[in-house]
Structure 1
Amino acid sequence: MRSTSLAAALACHFLACIFATQVVAQVAKEEPPQDGPMSVFHPKFGYLVSERNYRAGKLHGLSRKFDKFGNVLREETFDTGELHGIRRYYEAGVPASETIYVLGLAEGPYWAKYKDFEAKGQYLQGKREGKWTEIRAGKWELVRNFKAGVLDGLWERKNAESKEVLRLTFKQGELVGGTGELSQYAFLTRALAMKGDKLPPDPAVNYALKVLVRDVDLSYPETPIREVIGDLRERLSMPMYVDEQTLAAARISSKTPVTIDENSLPLFVGLHNMTKRRGLTFDYRYHALWLTTPQGVREWQDPTGIQSLKPAKGSPLEKALGEPAGFDFLATDFSDLAAVLKKQHGLTVNASALGFEAREGRPEKLRAGPFEKSLPLRDALGILLTLRDCRCHEKDGVLVIEPRERLQ
């Protein structure tokens, strides 16, 4: 029976290194051998791409990958097909990160150092455990605590002078509170306000908070903010939209370019850093993120009337507003909306006040993903009416949709 101790993993690594020095000169083969070494060369330029070792048809021993200059990019050891030992990544021939594996699972201390970025922490049975620290020299320091791979406990972000600027608290992976400069992240505080022990469970809010605290790589050089939002919307499966009316009132175009180049950054921090230089920010409305202005956040009131609807208890409208939308409301023309809502939710809709131009077409040619289709119909309509610059009210059980005055 194979030992799972750290000592055994290290021993496997060193033995594999010795074995590798004996087979490096072997001739490359097209198919992996059952036993022994294999060298792989670039099919066009002929340089060595990788060296591997096999036992019984599975990776066993040292495995290395090289760049075109012969520098090692990655070095790792296997035990009968499973990572077992030290995995190292290299940058320009210098170790850039190191993780220890025991029979396929990361175990023990981890470190990484790349340019101005440093990280250290530890794994337990393949999952992050305890305190993890990440530093971007001269910019920020992030300290997080994990339990069984999920955020649990204190989360601290400090500035270049190591002064704490934001502190969050997590419990079993869920954000439950925060202090410090939390007010500058309006979209985060609004989402947090919709979550609490005395409030009913809200899966949409829980999902949004998990996405907002997720580490992401953001690289957008002089990219129109509308394109950035479209890309993030697709990457993160997160509803994200542009409040065109508020931006127009502030004389800011959604084509305004933004620039950011950050790695392993919590999304909510990245969104803030990316937009603040342009006088922009995000808000959280209708269970979605909206690009807007700080003034737009302060002065926002539901312009669609959807949140003010108070249909009779037990009526079809009351029931429908709390149900999942269940259809692609973004790809639905207003000319078809009444029929769709009748079929999906048994609602009667009157959109006769809308002109032909308002009734035809659809906003930005967007499509609703699975998460958006799962939003309550009240939120789905709030999103759609905002994008189409319309409002609604109820009259004798009928949902009336009409144009609204544009913001001055």
Structure 2
Amino acid sequence: MTKARYFKLILILGSLTALGPFSIDMYLPGFAGIAKDLNTTVANVAMTLSSYFIGISAGQLLYGPLLDRYGRKKPLFIGLLVYILASLSCAFVRDIDTFIGLRFIQAVGSCAATVASVSMVRDLFPVRDIPKVFSLLMLVVGLSPMLAPTVGGYVTDAYGWHMVFLILMGIGIVILLASYFGLPSSYTPDTTISLKPKPILLNFASVLKEPQFYTYAFTGSIAFSGLFTYVAASPIIFMDIYKVEPKTYGWIFAFMSLSFILASQLNSVLLRWFSSEQMIMGALLTQSTIVVTFVLLAVNDMLGLYQTIGMLFIFLACLGISNPNTAGLTLAPFTKNAGSASALMGAIQLGLGAFASFAVGVFLKDSVLPMVLIMTTSTLVALLVLLIGKRTIKVKY
């Protein structure tokens, strides 16, 4: 594979992977404006995040079998068309309940891009290169939370929050065209795969029984729910509790994303000397130390704006190390049904993310502590799952 082709594939696959995060992050600065226009509260607007996470989680299970049965490109294109139409509808929504529903549909469309991109990584690259490829994808994905809230803040300030969804529709169109013309047919459709509920469930069950899958899928997903906790909590933490302006919030969010980007790129370098297993363990042990310190500071009322930013920066850096490695090890055992495996991995990750964001909406009011407690719980449980699950893995891939 030439360097030019390699770069093009990474860019397109990274854009597909980033579509979901961009759709999550870009409208965050508009929460107050959305709440005002739709005659509701910021907490209710935050429920549109939960519905998005639920949609993208459930949609993963839908697209997995479709990607294996019909190949990668057709289901991808259909999903992107759903995303484009839902984004257009969100721009003209009049009430919060319809908005919550449309965000669910938008998510179902966007997750086709997520599942297809992960499956195509498994199709196009050798197993040994997958963690490095995921780290490169994290570089593209990492630009999303850097750019999206910042751009969203300026767009919302100048044109209103409705324009954000028109821009998302445009992004969907560009990605659809890039995928159509730039991606190879990486997988021969497997017509033996049934789309009836029972065979699909049996296929997912066979994936879930693989010790390497459930160990690293659940370890990575539970740890990664800390990111969803942060995303859901950040508008309330920074704009309501610490009283920063929407534009400033966008810049803070962008700065925080640097930790995830830099850490994922550091991961590529460290993989020359350490295994993925060692990287995951090191990241989770460091993350555990951070969250315990975070809790102590929160309980003793020692957290201001800058202390909170500093702790979250290190916390997100740990996720930038662990996530590419858990994803790579989760998918490593699979070739024939990589689409189903990646879909199930994504569903677990985003299902837990939806639960975490919902918990934020329920418990987070006027204190940072609930967010920190949710992050602490997810980190320590992830470490426990890893320690227990590693004992069941007998074959190294």
With normalisation by structure 1, the TM-score equals: 0.23
> Which protein has greater RCO, CA pairs closer than 8 Å, 6+ apart?
2
| Larger relative helix fraction | 2
From the CA coordinates, give the structure whose radius of gyration is larger.
Answer: 1
| Larger relative strand fraction | 1
With normalisation by structure 2, the TM-score equals: 0.24
